[in-house]
């Protein structure tokens, strides 16, 4: 990386430190710039030992010990008991606030990890009827028992592995055992929260439970930002250590999207006695902001001897004896069997290849695709024409519904197909594709007239005053008063004047990151012709698993193969901290 490629935040920070700490050695400034630029890529820290002695910006970085000394003499780095913009913890260098967040997460988790909840007998009594007809070692039964037995529970599984079905049973069990418990459902985005409610309602209707239990199950979910009471000015949220959330059980879906800072705020606001159940897919893309706490938590999976005994007693399963380890391990359950993608599913097979980094297998599947897969290999000369022709027919129903001012039909047709872009920029990046569709398909010129009937928009910020969340997708339709942007609400629609909308952008296409927490019947994944650092296994996997029925991949064999070779691991110290007793949290941060 050279200075020209440093992201603006890192370059500015380096310049500021240079001015503020003129005696600091170049090696210390370089480390600070590296930490900041890696934080923008999602890393929580820089492990100095990975970079010591390496070439960087035309120089060779110092050996580890020399580097540590330069950092500690710089004036802007403190050891863990000190207070400075950067913290050196072992060989890991952190931005101070990320270090404090990591400590908070580890401490809050560790404090709750060893708290056991129900007795195995209580769990078994309530689970047996809910899992009648399934074996004791059924994955979903084990996961449900895991959630009942532990205060912190993590259930990770791919699409359709039954996370929602399982948690519906867990909630039904808890409602019976603890009728007064206050249950809250939440997700990182508005769309994910809405989908969670929909899926839970369907799962609930299939449960063998009485009407009283059914009626007591929660029917609403909210975004984590709303739950925590974040204010539009970005100040500290309303709920925190001094004012804990008023709840006893919190279920969070799509937990892989939670970044470290948000996770720290959430745990700090959670009452000590409350249960936390996190649902997610460890193989999906991590959060946009720094950290990958969910995946790191899942990596603790394993059973202690006591945990194994309790789980066996709660389910009737014969389980191996377990091994000593982190108390968190007992609260982690993995679901492996997909009930959505059967053994004949092309999407399921391609997603498995993506996860395993098996590019040969993926390409073989795409060369002779099953009915639920299609491939447009590479960008031909008139790829734009081809894309538009294919979309023309696919969007006909949508355009008709827009012309008829029928919001229900428009929304339904719009959500059947989504274009997902791997990149924001470039000829097949999000911006170019949205512009292409607006100008060539809908004959609109957004530079002259940004608002027109049929424009889909995605909100880019949380706005609690307007009741809109980052990631909410709305459609513009005409009514008697002119153009209105309609967003789905609990019951029906809420229309906003376009000028009232907070920061937003056109959403014919979404980035793969933006699509997290959503599902569509059909997904067209658009890849660039050249490899790029952000193309990774988890990005391809996340895109593929947004589709329920069909996936079309538009991209070259080499780009796809390159992406599947790249498995991104974010640097962080959380996994190490979770294995040891909790640190104390310094109050300065």
Ligand X SMILES: Nc1ncnc2c1ncn2[C@@H]1O[C@H](COP(=O)(O)OP(=O)(O)OP(=O)(O)O)[C@@H](O)[C@H]1O
Annotated binding site for ATP: 157-164
In sequence order, which residues have a C-beta less than 8 Å from that of residue 484 and are 6 or more positions away? 476, 477, 478, 495, 496, 497, 498
Stretch that binds ligand X, among 161-169, 233-241, 372-380, 454-462 (CB under 6 A): 161-169
Q: Among residues 203 and 266, whose Cβ is nearest to ligand X?
A: 203
Give the shortest CB-192-to-ligand X separation in angstroms.
Answer: 9
Q: Spell out where 65-195 has E strands.
A: 77-79, 86-89, 92-95, 152-157, 183-187
Q: Which region among 85-93, 156-164, 183-191, 391-399 touches ligand X (by CB under 6 A)?
A: 156-164
| Residue 159 contacts ligand X per CB under 6 A | yes
Q: Which is nearer to ligand X, 517 or 573 (CB)?
A: 517
Of the residues 30, 165, 359, 376, which one makes contact with ligand X according to CB under 6 A: 165
User: Does residue 188 interact with ligand X by CB under 6 A?
Assistant: no
The mark string for 125-154 relative to ligand X (x by CB under 6 A, - otherwise) is: ---------------x--------------
CA distance 163 to 311: 18
Q: Which two tokens stand for residue 258?
A: 């939670």
Under rule CB under 6 A, residue 280 binds ligand X: no
Cα–Cα distance, 478 to 485 (Å, whole number):
9
Per CB under 6 A, the list member of 231, 272, 323, 339 interacting with ligand X is 339
Q: Which is nearer to ligand X, 135 or 403 (CB)?
A: 135
Q: Confirm or reject binding of residue 310 to ligand X (CB under 6 A).
A: no
Minimum gap (Å) between residue 138 Cβ and ligand X: 7
Taking residues 82 to 121 in sequence order and writing x for each that binds ligand X by CB under 6 A, - otherwise, the string is ----------------------------------------
Nearer to ligand X, 161 or 462 (CB): 161
Minimum CB distance to ligand X smaller for 71 or for 250: 250
Q: Please identify which residue in 30, 74, 161, 444 interacts with ligand X, judged by CB under 6 A.
A: 161
Q: How near is the Cβ of 175 to ligand X at its closest, in Å? A: 18
**Judged by CB, which is closer to ligand X: 158, or 291?**
158
Q: How far is the CB of 203 from ligand X (least distance, A)?
A: 6
521-546 in b/e burial notation, b at 16+ Cβ within 10 A?
ebbbbbbbeebbebbbbbbbbbbbbb
**Closest C-alpha to 366, from 354, 377, 378:** 377
Q: Closer to ligand X by CB, 78 or 172: give it.
A: 172
Given strand 221-223, what is the order of strands in its sheet?
A: 221-223, 183-187, 249-252, 275-280, 152-157, 332-335
Of the pair 348, 528, the CB lying nearest ligand X is at 348
Spell out, one character per residue from 450 to 489, where the chain touches ligand X: x when CB under 6 A holds, - when not.
Answer: ----------------------------------------
Q: In angstroms, give the least distance from the CB of 140 to ligand X.
A: 6
Give the x-and-dash track for 487-526 against ligand X (CB under 6 A): ----------------------------------------
- Which of residues 309 and 340 has its CB atom nearest to ligand X in the complex? 340
* Among residues 146, 150, 164, 536, the one that binds ligand X under rule CB under 6 A: 164
Task: Say how far apart CA 265 and CA 226 lie, in whole Å.
Answer: 12
Both tokens of 559, joined, read 């780009």
Rounded to 5 degrees, φ, ψ at 550 are -150, 145
Span of 155-163, 262-270, 287-295, 354-362 interacting with ligand X by CB under 6 A: 155-163
Block residue for tokens 């209105």: 484
Residue with tokens 């992406």: 563
Rounded to whole angstroms, the Cα distance separating 266 from 268 reads 5
Residues 6 or more apart whose CB falls under 8 angstroms from that of 529 comprise: 378, 379, 428, 555, 556, 559
State the first-to-last Cα distance of the chain, in angstroms, to the nearest integer. Answer: 31
Tokens of 465: 């005053």
Residue written as token pair 């019947």: 521
Among 62, 85, 136, 160, binds ligand X (CB under 6 A): 160
Task: Please say whether the beta carbons of 486 and 495 come within 8 A.
Answer: yes
- If binding means CB under 6 A, how many residues of this protein chain bind ligand X? 13
Instruction: Write down the residue that tokens 């007064």 correspond to.
Output: 180
Binding to ligand X (CB under 6 A): which residues in 519-558? Answer: none
Find the binder of ligand X among 162, 348, 528, 573 (CB under 6 A): 162
Q: Please, are residues 534 and 279 in contact by the beta-carbon 8 Å criterion?
A: no
Q: Which residues are annotated as a binding site?
A: 157-164
For residue 134, list its beta bridge partners: none
Cβ 337 to ligand X, closest distance in Å?
Answer: 8
For residues 541 and 356, what is the distance between their CA atoms, to the nearest angstrom?
10
Cβ neighbours for 360, distance < 8 A, ≥ 6 positions apart: none
Please say which residue, 139 or 555, places its beta carbon nearer to ligand X. 139
In 3D space, the residue among 510, 519, 354 whose CA is nearest the CA of residue 423 turns out to be: 510
Question: Of these, 14, 163, 169, 303, which contacts ligand X (CB under 6 A)?
Answer: 163
Minimal distance, residue 126 CB to ligand X, in Å: 18
Eight-class DSSP state of 463:
B
Least Å distance between CB 38 and ligand X?
A: 31
According to CB under 6 A, which one of 157, 346, 429, 488 is a site residue for ligand X? 157
Sorted by sequence, the CB contacts under 8 Å of residue 61 that are 6+ apart come out as: 27, 30, 31, 51, 52, 53, 54, 55, 67
- The answer to whether residue 203 forms part of the interface with ligand X (CB under 6 A) is yes
Binding site for ligand X (CB under 6 A): 140, 157, 159-165, 199, 203, 339-340
């Amino acid at each position: 990386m050279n200075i020209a490629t440093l992201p603006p935040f890192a370059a500015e920070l380096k310049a500021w430190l240079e001015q503020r700490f003129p005696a600091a050695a170049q090696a210390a400034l370089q480390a600070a710039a590296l930490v900041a630029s890696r934080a923008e890529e999602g890393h929580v820290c820089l492990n100095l030992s990975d970079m010591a002695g390496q070439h960087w910006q035309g120089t060779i970085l110092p050996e580890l010990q020399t580097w540590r000394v330069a950092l500690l003499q710089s004036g802007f780095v403190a050891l863990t008991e000190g207070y400075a913009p950067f913290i050196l913890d072992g060989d890991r260098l952190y931005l101070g606030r990320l270090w404090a967040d990591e400590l908070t997460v580890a401490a809050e988790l560790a404090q709750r990890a060893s708290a056991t909840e129900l007795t195995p007998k209580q769990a078994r009594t309530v689970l047996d009827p809910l899992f009648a007809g399934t074996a004791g070692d059924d994955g979903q039964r084990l996961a449900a028992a895991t959630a009942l037995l532990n205060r912190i529970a993590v259930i990770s599984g791919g699409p359709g592995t039954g996370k929602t079905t399982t948690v519906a049973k867990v909630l039904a069990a808890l409602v019976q055992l603890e009728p007064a418990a206050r249950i809250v459902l939440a997700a990182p985005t508005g769309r994910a929260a809405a989908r969670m409610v929909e899926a839970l309602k369907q799962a609930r209707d299939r449960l063998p439970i009485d009407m009283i239990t059914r009626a007591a199950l929660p029917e609403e979910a909210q975004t984590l930002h709303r739950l925590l009471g974040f204010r539009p000015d970005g100040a500290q949220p309303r709920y925190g250590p001094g004012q804990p959330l008023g709840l006893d059980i919190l279920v969070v879906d799509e937990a892989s999207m939670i970044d470290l800072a948000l996770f720290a705020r959430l745990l700090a606001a959670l009452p000590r006695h409350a249960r936390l159940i996190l649902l997610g897919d460890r193989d999906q893309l991590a959060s946009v902001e720094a950290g990958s706490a969910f995946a790191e938590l899942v990596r603790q999976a394993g059973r202690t001897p006591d945990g194994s005994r309790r789980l066996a007693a709660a389910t009737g399963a014969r389980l191996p004896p377990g091994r000593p380890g982190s108390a968190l391990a007992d609260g982690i359950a993995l679901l492996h069997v997909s009930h959505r993608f059967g053994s004949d599913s092309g999407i399921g097979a391609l997603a498995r290849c993506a996860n395993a980094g098996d590019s040969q297998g993926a390409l073989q599947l795409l060369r002779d695709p099953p009915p639920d897969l299609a491939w447009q290999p590479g960008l031909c000369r008139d790829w734009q024409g081809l894309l538009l022709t294919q979309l023309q027919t696919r969007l006909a129903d949508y355009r008709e519904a827009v012309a008829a001012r029928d919001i229900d039909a428009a929304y339904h047709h719009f959500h059947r197909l989504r274009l997902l872009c791997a990149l924001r920029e470039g000829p097949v990046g999000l911006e170019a594709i949205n512009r292409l569709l607006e100008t060539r398909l809908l004959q609109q010129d957004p530079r002259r007239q940004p608002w027109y009937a049929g424009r889909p928009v995605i909100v880019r910020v949380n706005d609690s005053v307007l009741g809109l969340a980052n990631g909410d997708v709305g459609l513009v339709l005409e009514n008697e008063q002119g153009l209105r942007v309609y967003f789905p609400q609990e019951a029906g629609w809420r229309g906003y004047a376009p000028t009232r909308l907070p920061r937003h952008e056109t959403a014919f296409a979404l980035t793969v990151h933006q699509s997290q927490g959503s599902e569509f019947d059909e997904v067209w994944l658009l890849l660039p012709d050249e490899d790029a650092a952000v193309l990774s296994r988890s990005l391809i996997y996340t895109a593929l698993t947004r589709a329920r029925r069909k996936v079309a991949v538009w991209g070259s064999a080499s780009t796809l193969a390159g992406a599947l070779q790249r498995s991104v691991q974010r640097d962080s110290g959380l996994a190490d901290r979770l294995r040891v007793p909790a640190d104390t949290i310094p109050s300065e941060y």
